[in-house]
Structure 1
Amino acid sequence: MSFKIAIIGAGSVGFTKKLFTDILCVPEFRDIEFALTDISEHNLGMIRAILDRIVEANNLPTRVTATTDRRKALEGARYVISCVRVGGLEAYADDIRIPLKYGIDQCVGDTICAGGILYGQRNIPVILDFCKDIRAVAESGAKFLNYANPMAMNTWAAIEYGKVDTVGLCHGVQHGAAQIAEVLGAKSSKELDYVCSGINHQTWFIELRLNGRPIGKDELVAAFEAHPVYSKQEKLRIDVLKRFGVYSTESNGHLSEYLPWYRKRPDEITRWIDMSDWIHGETGGYLRYSTETRNWFETEYPQFLEAASKPIDPAKRSNEHASHILEALETNRVYRGHFNVRNNGVIANLPQDAIIESPGFVDRFGINMAAGITLPEACAATCMSSINVQRMSVHAAIAGDIDLLKLAVLHDPLVGAVSTPEEVWQMVDEMVVAQAAWLPQYADAVPAAKERLSKSRVKTREWAGAARRSVRSIEELRAEKAALKQAG
C-alpha cells in the first residue's frame, strides 16, 4: 500500500514525530511517503533528520521529503495534516500580554477569549491558502486533518470557505476519559464506555458506564473529591460538574477561560486554579510551557536525535486520532473516536452550521457521525455562547471586518465579564496593530486603528496576571528533570 501524507507545520518537531511513529505502527503503511513542509528551514532540517533516523533504525522503505515549498509538498497527497502556529511564539505572546493590560487573565488563549479569537484571525487566511493548494494539486478528494487551534474556527473556515473535506482532531476527550476511569478505580480506560459531545474544548461526558454500570453525577463528584491529586488540580472542573451534572473534557486552565465566572476577579482566580503545572490555570501557562519546550529542544537536540534510533514499538502508539483514522479509511478496520465536523443535525440543540465535537465511526466509507444527540441545557447554553463568538470571528476573518471582530471579542464570555465596550474596542485595535504582519486581511484597517490608539483615553495597566511564573532557564529545567528522575 502506497500513498502520500503531507504535514504542514512539520517544524512542530515533537508532535510531528509522534504522528509519524503512530502512522508507521500500521503494518500496511510501511511503504508510504511523508512530505514535510514548514516556513522554517531550520526546524524542517531537525525533524527531517529525526524521521530519517527512525526510518533507518527500523529498516523501513518509508520515504521522507522536506521542503519550504508548501505547494510542492502537497502535490499528490491523499492526506494533509496541519499543526501550524501562525505567528509563532512572538504573536502568541501578544495574545496573552495585551489582554492583561485590560484585566483579561488567560491560561492558554488558543480557543476563544481575546487571545484565541486573534489567533483565529491569523490562522484563517493561511488555512484558506492551504485549502486552495489542496484543491489544486493534492490527490482528488484529499482529506484535510486539522490539529491546529483554534480548532473550531480553523475547521469552520476550511469547510465553509475552503471547500475541502476536513476533520478537526483533538485529544481532550481521551484525556478526560482517562481521568474518569482513574478516579472510578478502573484498571484501564477500556472499562469505561461514554458518550462525549459538544464543541471542541467544551465537550461533555453526557453518559458514562463502567463495565456496563451507569455512573451518575453524585458518584462521579465523590470520586473526584476523594482523589488525592485531581481534587486539588481540577477544582474548577469539579465545581462545574457539581453544577452542570456532567464532567468537561478540558483541563482546569482551559475551561476557566471559556466561562465568565472563574477568572473575572484577580483575587478569585487563585481560588480555582492549581500551580503544580501550567495546565491547571497558571496565567499565560501554555506560553511559558511552549517557550521552555522550544528552548529545551533546541539545546537538547542531540539527545532527541539519538533517541530516534530506537525501534518503533506498536504498544506505545498514542491515542491521537490521525493514525487510527487513516488505518480505518485504508484498511476498513473500524475506528471509533470523537471528531470535529459541521453539525448538520448531529447535536439536535446546537446550530446546524456549528463545528461540533462528537462521537463517530470511521471505515472505508469515511467518517460517520452518531446523530440524534441532545446536550443537557446548561451544556448547550455554554456551547452556544462560544459558537456565536466563533461564527462572528470566522466571518470577520474572511471579510477583514474589524468592527465585526470587535463585536466577536465583546461577546466572548470572559471578556464580557471583565471589560467594558470601550476597553474591548481599544484592545482589539492594539492587538490588530501589534499583529499586523500576520493579519493581511486587516491591512486597510491598521492606519485608522493606529490613529484611534494615538487619541485614546482608555486607561490600561502593565499587569503580569494573577498567577504568573517566569520562563525557566535550561539549567533550571535540567535540575528539575534530575530531581524528578531521582525521586522516581
Structure 2
Amino acid sequence: MVKITLVGAGSMHFTRDLIWNLLLHPQADRIEWRLFDIDADRLRISYRLVQEIGRQLHVTPRAVTVDTQREALQGADFVINVVQVGGFEATRRDFDIPERYGIVQTIGDTLGVGGIFRALRTIPVVLDLVRDMEDVCPEAVLLNYTNPLSMVVMAIARISGIQAYGLCESPRTTADTLSRYLEIPPDRLNWMTAGINHMAWVLRLEAEGRDLYPTLRSLADDPETWRKDAVRFELMKAFGYFVTESSEHNAEYGPWFITHPDEIRRLGIPLGELLRRSANYLRDFEAYKTEGIREDFTFPRHPPFQYAAELITHWMTGEDLTFYGSVMNHGLIDNIMPTIAVEVPCVLTQGEIFPVHVGPLPDVLAALNNRAGAIQDLTVQAVLRRNREDLYHALLLDPVVSSRLTVDQTVSLANELLEAHKGIVPELKTRRVFGNTSFSGEGT
C-alpha cells in the first residue's frame, strides 16, 4: 500500500485533478489517501469531489479526511503540499497596495512584490510541516506545488534534510504549447529545459535531429502566432531562447513590459489575472458548497497532466521516469548561484531520484536567473533570520520595483504590506537607516 498525504487538500481543483489522475491507474487500489486542510468546509467539498470521481470511474478511493497535520502524516510515503496561506484576501492585498504605489501585476505568486510577500506568509507554514515530517515520517518524500515554489524549496533545504522536490508542470505544458505552434506531435519533440521555476529556458528543441529554433523564430514574426504568446516571443527575440511558464507570468519578471502602458496594450498583458482566476475558483467553491455536483456532470477520461501523479505511479511500478523538478543547485547548473533552487531534469530509477547535471547556461540566461535568484535568496533569509533589512533589499533589487520607486517609497510599501498582513507573516527586525527614516527594534 502506498500512502499519500495531501496537505492543503481544500484546494479542490488540485485535489480533484491529482486524485483523478491516480484513480485512472491500474493499481489505484494500492493507494491510500489522507486529506488534510485547516478549512473544514473546503476539505469536505474536496472529499465529496473525490468520491464523485471514484463513482464515475467505478472505483472506490481509499481516502479519508483527518483533523490534524501530524495524524495525516502518519506512515506517509509521499507528502504533497498545496497550501495557500491567507487566501483570496491576502492575494488581493498583494495586488491592491502595490498598485497605489504605481506597481501593477499579473500573477504575483513567484517574483516581484506579490511573490515576495507570498513567500513571507507561506514559508513559516511549510517549515512547520517539514518539522512535523521529521518527527512523524522522516523517510517520506515531500512534493511541493505551493508558490513561490523555488523559495519554498530553498527554505526547506536550509533547515531540514527531508527529501523535497518542487513540482510544476510548466516545462511539459511549454513543450505541448510549442508542439502546437510548430504543428508537430508532442511525442516527436526532443526538448530540454533548465533554469529556475517559471523562468527556465528551452535549451533543446528538435524533431528527428532537426533544430526547430529557426522555425520557431520565423513563427515569432507571424502576427497571428505572436499574439498567442507575445511576451515570450519578445523575450526569445531579445535573449535567444523560449522561456517556460506563460506570457502573463513573464510579463512581470522584468522591467521591459509591465512598467510601460503602451507595451501592456500592445502585448495584451492581463493585469490582475490571478485575482480573476481566484475569484472564479471561489465561485466554483461556493457553487459546490451550496449546490453540490450537478447530476449531469461527467469527468472527462483524460485529466490535466500532473508530474506528481506520473512520479508516484512510476515509483509504484518500478519504472524509470524523467521529470522536471526544482532542487538546490548543488553543481547542476554551473553558472547559477549554489544558494538557489534550479529546475532541471530529474531521473527516477530503482526508487531513487537523481537530478541531472546540465552544465552552464548561456551567459545572458544565467544572468537573468541569478538576478531573480538573488532576490529569492534575500527573501528566504528575511524569513529565516526574521530580518526586515533582507526584505527591503529583496524589494530594492526587484527590477520592476526599482524601476518605479525610490528607496523611501520601497521601504514604505514594504512596511504597509507587513502591517496589512499582520498575523500571517513573521515579525521582522531591523536596526538600520533606510532613506529618511530610521527603523529599529521589532516590526510586524
Q: Which TM-score band applies after superposition, normalised by the shorter structure?
A: over 0.9
Cα gap change, 1:115/1:312 in structure 2, threshold over 3 Å: closer, same or farther? Answer: closer
Of the three residues 343, 346, 351, the one matched with 1:357 is 343
Of the three residues 319, 326, 342, the one matched with 1:333 is 319
Of the three residues 200, 205, 220, the one matched with 2:202 is 205
Alignment of 1:62-211 (within 5 A): 62-138=61-137, 140-186=138-184, 188-211=185-208
Deviation at 1:127, TM superposition (A): 0.7
Cα gap change, 1:358/1:308 in structure 2, threshold over 3 Å: closer, same or farther? Answer: farther
Alignment of 1:46-445 (within 5 A): 46-138=45-137, 140-186=138-184, 188-216=185-213, 218-226=214-222, 228=224, 230-272=225-267, 274=268, 281-299=269-287, 305-306=293-294, 313=301, 316-442=302-428
For 1:317 and 1:251, locate their aligned partners in 2 and report how far apart those are by CA, in whole Å: 20
- Unmatched 5+ stretches in structure 2: 440-444
The aligned amino acid for 1:134 is M
User: Do the aligned residues in 1 keep the contact of 2:50 with 2:61 (CA within 8 Å)?
Assistant: no
For 1:350 and 1:172, locate their aligned partners in 2 and report how far apart those are by CA, in whole Å: 20
Q: Match of 2:80, SS? A: strand
For 1:180 and 1:6, locate their aligned partners in 2 and report how far apart those are by CA, in whole Å: 34
Q: Match of 2:30, SS? A: coil
For 2:32 and 2:342, locate their aligned partners in 1 and report how far apart those are by CA, in whole Å: 31
For 1:336 and 1:202, locate their aligned partners in 2 and report how far apart those are by CA, in whole Å: 20
Deviation at 1:355, TM superposition (A): 0.3
- Unmatched 5+ stretches in structure 1: 275-280, 455-488
TM normalised by structure 2 equals: 0.92
TM normalised by structure 1 equals: 0.84
For 2:294 and 2:63, locate their aligned partners in 1 and report how far apart those are by CA, in whole Å: 18
For 1:308 and 1:47, locate their aligned partners in 2 and report how far apart those are by CA, in whole Å: 19
Deviation at 1:118, TM superposition (A): 0.5
State the Cα RMSD in Å: 2.3
Q: How many residues were matched structurally?
A: 435
User: Do the aligned residues in 2 keep the contact of 1:196 with 1:204 (CA within 8 Å)?
Assistant: yes
The aligned amino acid for 1:185 is E
Identity of aligned residues (%): 29
For 2:292 and 2:228, locate their aligned partners in 1 and report how far apart those are by CA, in whole Å: 30
Deviation at 1:319, TM superposition (A): 2.3
For 2:329 and 2:404, locate their aligned partners in 1 and report how far apart those are by CA, in whole Å: 31
User: Do the aligned residues in 2 keep the contact of 1:328 with 1:363 (CA within 8 Å)?
Assistant: no
For 1:62 and 1:308, locate their aligned partners in 2 and report how far apart those are by CA, in whole Å: 21
For 1:78 and 1:26, locate their aligned partners in 2 and report how far apart those are by CA, in whole Å: 18
